[in-house]
Amino acid sequence: MKLTILFGGASFEHEISIVSAITLKEKLSGFDLSFVFCDQDHKFYSIDESKMKAITFSKGEHKKMPELYVSVGRFIQKGLFGSKEHNGVFLNLIHGADGEDGSIAALLDFFSIKYIGPRVDASVFSYDKRYTKWLCEFKSIKYLKHEELDVKEHNNINMPFPVIIKPSRLGSSIGVSIVKEESELDYALDSAFEFDSSVIVEPFIDGVKEYNLAGFSVNGEIHFSIVEEPHKNEFLDFEKKYMDFSRSESVLKADISDELESKLKSNFEKVYKNMFEGALIRCDFFVIDGEVFLNEINPIPGSMANYLFEDFKGSLELLSNSLPQSKRAKVNYEYIHSISKAKGK
């Protein structure tokens, strides 16, 4: 299978995207892979597979590699003796801003480039945690109660401690703090507001059961991964998640009842359908008193959650053959011609 991995981006999760791309290079051995890197200046570079190492980017060596330009259906590498094309199916592996906020999706859609990843509307509702809550409300999915605070005007929270503070538009646990008493609140808010102008406050539930489930749709049917019960301390901080993005070894299936597995899959399907077609996503759920609550949607999970699938290569092939086809309006200038004809011009 021919696949181009698009990674990098200008976000706080730039390095995580690089780690994910390097991991998939190993995981997808045997595929006809190409790599397109988006740097912090939004320039695109063709990266030779042999140079897919972290040091290539940390030392700026990617700038010596061929620069690419976007055209209809492809990326183009211009040269003295013609041009080289990167076409076919792209995999959007840009985490955080650019990749998950809908920017890259809009660019790829605009140029009619086929890609695996969330479309613009799906990106909007999953990237911003406030909008994810709205999506849950609309789709009758349970979610934790929350408060929203803005950097320009915010008062003390009304929720009892302990609470968890999260930037509204960021992942990988960056800027996230657990606040157990009021004396810790100002520092936690300052930390979160360093990364975003809006934060979410949720109750922190010690020892809550958490489960991860990934999946994608092919011809209207959801293909699920195994259910994982992540083992962690109080919460998965940035460094632990950073290492998590390089995961490629399969994990054990969670030891849960068929009834709970069915509930998790039912909620995943509610999230996915009529919103995330064309993407492989992971949903993280809490289970409280037997009820399933959506914690967050990962529209571009770390290393594409490859470790949750028994046949990850086969899953990507299936998905790449069932991507949404956008319709373009046909322009024939009939209206202008009719006006011109009426005026005799």
pLDDT digits (tens, 9 = 90+) for 292-311: 999 999 999 999 999 999 99
Q: Which pLDDT does position 238 carry in this prediction?
A: 47
User: Hey, what amino acid is at 86?
Assistant: H
Query: Three-state DSSP class for 73?
Result: coil
Q: Which pLDDT does position 330 carry in this prediction?
A: 87
User: Hey, what amino acid is at 137?
Assistant: E
Cα–Cα dist 21/54, whole Å: 10
CB atoms within 10 A of CB 108: 20
First to last CA, the chain: 54
Instruction: Assess contact for 234 and 205: CB atoms under 8 A.
Output: no
pLDDT one-digit tens code per residue, 23-49? 999 999 999 999 999 999 999 999 999
Instruction: Assess contact for 171 and 12: CB atoms under 8 A.
Output: no
Is the pTM higher than 0.85? The answer reads: yes
Instruction: Assess contact for 133 and 143: CB atoms under 8 A.
Output: yes
Give the closest residue to 171 by CA, choosing from 228, 215, 127, 124: 127
Q: Which pLDDT does position 249 carry in this prediction?
A: 72
Instruction: Assess contact for 247 and 276: CB atoms under 8 A.
Output: no
pLDDT one-digit tens code per residue, 196-255? 999 999 999 988 999 999 999 999 999 999 999 987 655 555 455 545 555 667 789 999
**Domains in the chain: ranges and CATH:** 2-116 (3.40.50.20), 124-143+207-320 (3.30.470.20), 147-203 (3.30.1490.20)
pLDDT one-digit tens code per residue, 94-122? 999 999 999 999 999 999 999 999 999 99
Q: What tokens appear for 278 in the block?
A: 């064309």
Q: Whats the size of the chain, residue-wise?
A: 345
Instruction: Work out the percent of the chain whose per-residue pLDDT is above 70.
Output: 93
Q: Exposed, middle or buried by CB within 10 Å (0-12, 13-18, 19+), for 82?
A: exposed
* Residue the block writes with tokens 């290569």: 313
Beta strands in 137-272 (DSSP E): 147-150, 163-167, 177-179, 198-203, 209-218, 221-228
Query: Three-state DSSP class for 268?
Result: helix
Q: Name the strands in the sheet holding 209-218, side by side, starting at the edge strand that comes first in the sequence.
A: 221-228, 209-218, 281-288, 291-298
Cα–Cα dist 145/153, whole Å: 21
Give the closest residue to 225 by CA, choosing from 172, 303, 136, 170: 303
- The average pLDDT across 147-170 equals 88
Q: Which pLDDT does position 81 carry in this prediction?
A: 72
Cα–Cα dist 268/115, whole Å: 22
CA 291 to chain centre: 26
